[in-house]
């Protein structure tokens, strides 16, 4: 099945060569792997923990763990997918420690079926990202994605921001493919809904949009 994979397009053999050199004790090879993926791990960690210090810790701990457990990496998946799995687990542990009042798990069944159904349908401005300056836009996007449950935003970040395939996301998060697809759909729709008020065309709020397409479809 072909899916969107815009970011990580390294030839597997080259990555595996680095991994094998690192396994044989070549630290320069491991450093090259760090250089290759540190930005991705940092982004994923910060999206999950929502805290810069925690994200820095996660980057260090994830790579250290990967280094110490390299022998256990079976080379059946990409090194990056294996690394993401380690980083996600580290990040979730941080989040649990910081927010002990809430059990944070990727397995939690988040009952937000209704939240995902479009309630407001309004056309957006043709270039919504140009309605705000860079700092404002960043703030809007950050606050909006932070409002999603961890299980949803992790799937969204891996699939749509980092460009992992559905299969790789399922592998990294130890979820089934249907679970990834269902969370991705709900994450995308919830983000869309929450961004509506920032990006809709001037004067197009409400109107016929109050009735979403989630009705009986007999229109």
Partner 1 sequence: MKCSEFLNELTNYLDGVLDARTKSELDDHLAWCHNCYVVCDTTRKTIEIYRDSELYELPDDLRTRLRSAIMSKCTASKKSQAPGS
Residues forming the site for partner 1 (CB under 8 A): 1-4, 6, 25, 27, 30-31, 34-35, 38-39, 42-43, 46-47, 55-56, 59-60, 63-64, 67-68, 117-118, 121-124, 128-129, 137-138, 141-142, 145, 156, 160-161, 163, 166, 181, 184-185, 188-189, 191-192, 195-196, 199, 208-209, 211-219
State in angstroms the smallest separation of the CB of 8 from partner 1: 13
Give whichever of 102 and 201 is closer to partner 1, judged by the CB atom: 201
State in angstroms the smallest separation of the CB of 80 from partner 1: 16
State in angstroms the smallest separation of the CB of 157 from partner 1: 8
Give whichever of 1 and 109 is closer to partner 1, judged by the CB atom: 1
Three-class SS string for the chain? CCCCCCCCCCCHHHHHHHHHHHHCCCHHHHHHHHHHHHHHHHHHHHHHHCCHHHHHHHHHHHHHHHHHCHHHCCCCCCHHHHHHHHHHHHHHHHHHHHCCCCCCCCCCCCCCHHHHCCCCCCCECCCHHHHCCHHHHHHHHHHHHHCCCHHHHHHHHHHHHCCCCHHHHHHHHCCCHHHHHHHHHHHHHHHHHHHHHHHECCCCCCHHHHCCCCCCCCC
Give whichever of 16 and 29 is closer to partner 1, judged by the CB atom: 29
């Amino acid at each position: 099945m072909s899916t969107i994979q815009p970011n990580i397009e390294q030839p597997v053999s080259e990555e595996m060569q680095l991994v094998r050199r690192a396994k044989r004790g070549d630290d320069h090879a491991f450093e090259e792997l760090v250089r290759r993926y540190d930005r991705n791990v940092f982004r994923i960690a910060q999206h999950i923990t929502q805290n810069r210090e925690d994200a820095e810790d996660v980057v260090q701990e994830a790579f250290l763990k990967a280094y110490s457990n390299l022998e256990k990496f079976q080379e059946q998946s990409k090194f990056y997918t294996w690394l993401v799995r380690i980083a996600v687990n580290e990040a979730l542990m941080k989040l649990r420690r910081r927010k002990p009042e809430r059990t944070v798990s990727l397995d939690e069944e988040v009952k937000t079926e209704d939240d995902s159904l479009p309630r407001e349908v309004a056309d957006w401005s043709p270039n919504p990202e140009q309605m705000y300056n860079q700092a404002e836009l960043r703030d809007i996007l950050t606050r909006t994605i932070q409002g999603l449950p961890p299980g949803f935003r992790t799937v969204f970040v891996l699939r749509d921001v980092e460009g992992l395939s559905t299969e790789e996301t399922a592998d990294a998060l130890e979820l089934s493919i249907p679970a990834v697809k269902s969370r991705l759909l709900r994450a995308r729709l919830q983000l869309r809904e929450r961004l509506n008020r920032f990006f809709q065309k001037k004067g197009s709020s409400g109107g016929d949009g109050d009735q979403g397409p989630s009705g009986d479809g007999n229109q």
